[in-house]
Amino acid sequence: MPVKSLKFRLTMPVKRLDDGTGETIRVLEVDGYNTPTFDMVLQNQEEEFRSIPTWKIKPGDIFICAYPKAGTHWLWEVTSMLVNQSADRVKLIKETSMLEGVSQKNFDNVVCPRVLNTHLPLRLLPKDTLKMNSKILFVQRNPKDICVSYYNHHKKVLEYEYDGKFENYVNRFLEGHVDYGSWFDYTLEWEKVIKDNKGYPIHVMSYEDMKTDSIGEITKISEFLGLKTDPTLIREIAEKCEFSNMKKEKDPLENSAEWKDGKPGMYRKGQIGDWKNWFTVAQNEHFDAIFAKKMKDSSFTYRFG
Ligand code: A3P
């Protein structure tokens, strides 16, 4: 699958993540960490990425931290509206304030109060993040739905040059042969950060709770952020950020050149339990066995359907 007109493509050292089947996902490796390539928007991505720990945090910065496909776009939109105290559609896409996807210059220029977002672990974020007491929303989603969503993402975003089969993907996901690495490592690393920093303002929440009680969950976020919590505004935000409304109004803001067949696919299905349409019984049992082993010491819980 040739990738056309990728502006900065030739200047970057890329790697193809093979899972042993011959199918590959194209990423940028920086000091052993695999990040997506942002060929279309970022020059000198490697240097920019490496410098993130030195970037300056501003008072009042808010971070949305989530493994890919946990609902980052949704939570960014909700949080931006809360911070703006308005249910008007945010005219930007969340990638404009995604740490690993912007330059330091653009990061510095994000309008304050900044609603930042990232899929990186804390150890790769700006060093002062905790020192500055930046509020963190940590968003979780059950990893089977994440796996399906990430598969579709990899297939549709051209820069990955990936055209693999789902039957091979579950293992790839479980073994972490994807950009941002293993979901297990990511999740357990954040759990440790939370345990080691008792009392730090981290709000742990889930995609599933947002789906079943968005008004209740948005109210909790508003209270966590110390904002005025007006029930009418909360209701309006929940409605504006409902899946079909976001898909209709945000898809046109995406750069269609980044997507297969020119069709943005960030808002795909937006449901709990779609994994049941994808996993075979054997894949599900294998997933459960690995999950039980890797998460045995974790106190996080997940709703799979
Ligand atoms: P699906 O592929 O299962 O549909 P992220 O923003 O972290 O990349 O996550 C993307 C996932 O969140 C996709 O899941 C997408 O459809 C879903 N999503 C985005 N906006 C949503 C919304 N407003 N309500 C529910 N799900 C949403």
Q: What is the pLDDT of residue 12?
A: 67
Identity (one letter) of the amino acid at 86? S
Expressed in angstroms and rounded, the spacing between residue 269 Cα and the centre of ligand 1 is: 7
Q: What is the pLDDT of residue 13?
A: 81
Expressed in angstroms and rounded, the spacing between residue 253 Cα and the centre of ligand 1 is: 16
- Decide if 235 contacts 134 (C-beta within 8 A): no
Q: Which atom of ligand 1 is nearest to the CA of 242?
A: 23
Q: What is the pLDDT of residue 298?
A: 98
269 lines ligand 1 (CB under 6 A): yes
Expressed in angstroms and rounded, the spacing between residue 54 Cα and the centre of ligand 1 is: 31
209 lines ligand 1 (CB under 6 A): no
- Decide if 138 contacts 4 (C-beta within 8 A): no
Residue 106 sits in a domain of what CATH number?
3.40.50.300
Q: What is the pLDDT of residue 39?
A: 84
pTM: 0.96
270 lines ligand 1 (CB under 6 A): yes
Within 13 Å and on the Cβ side, how many CA atoms surround 212? Answer: 10
Q: What is the pLDDT of residue 2?
A: 42
E-strand ranges in 128-225 read: 135-140, 202-206
> How is the beta sheet containing 62-66 ordered, strand by strand?
115-118, 62-66, 135-140, 202-206
In a domain, 299, yes or no: no
In a domain, 303, yes or no: no
10-residue mean pLDDT series, the chain (305 residues): 48 87 96 93 94 98 98 98 98 97 97 97 98 98 98 97 98 98 98 98 98 98 97 98 97 94 96 98 98 98 97
Distance CA(44)–CA(247), nearest Å, equals: 32
287: domain range? 3-294
Give, for ligand 1, the residue of 139, 151, 249, 267 to mutate: max count of ligand atoms closer than 8 Å to Cβ: 267
Expressed in angstroms and rounded, the spacing between residue 146 Cα and the centre of ligand 1 is: 9
152 lines ligand 1 (CB under 6 A): yes
In a domain, 300, yes or no: no
Structurally, how many domains does the chain consist of? 1
Q: What is the pLDDT of residue 196?
A: 98
Distance CA(193)–CA(188), nearest Å, equals: 9
In a domain, 58, yes or no: yes
65 lines ligand 1 (CB under 6 A): no
Query: Is there a catalytic annotation at residue 119?
Result: yes
Give, for ligand 1, the residue of 94, 245, 266 to mutate: max count of ligand atoms closer than 8 Å to Cβ: 266
In a domain, 302, yes or no: no
Tokens at 285, concatenated: 């049992």
Expressed in angstroms and rounded, the spacing between residue 210 Cα and the centre of ligand 1 is: 11
129 lines ligand 1 (CB under 6 A): no
Q: What is the pLDDT of residue 232?
A: 98
119 lines ligand 1 (CB under 6 A): no
Q: What is the pLDDT of residue 91?
A: 95
Q: Which atom of ligand 1 is nearest to the CA of 76?
A: 6
81 lines ligand 1 (CB under 6 A): no
Expressed in angstroms and rounded, the spacing between residue 13 Cα and the centre of ligand 1 is: 30
Q: What is the pLDDT of residue 4?
A: 44
In a domain, 278, yes or no: yes
Tokens at 38, concatenated: 């942002």
In a domain, 234, yes or no: yes
Q: What is the pLDDT of residue 185?
A: 98
Residue 125 burial class via C-beta count within 10 angstroms: exposed 0-12, middle 13-18, buried 19 and up: buried
CA quadruple 14, 167, 257, 115: dihedral sign = negative
Q: Helices in 116-156 by DSSP H: which ranges? A: 143-156
In a domain, 281, yes or no: yes
Strands 33-35 and 24-30 come out as antiparallel
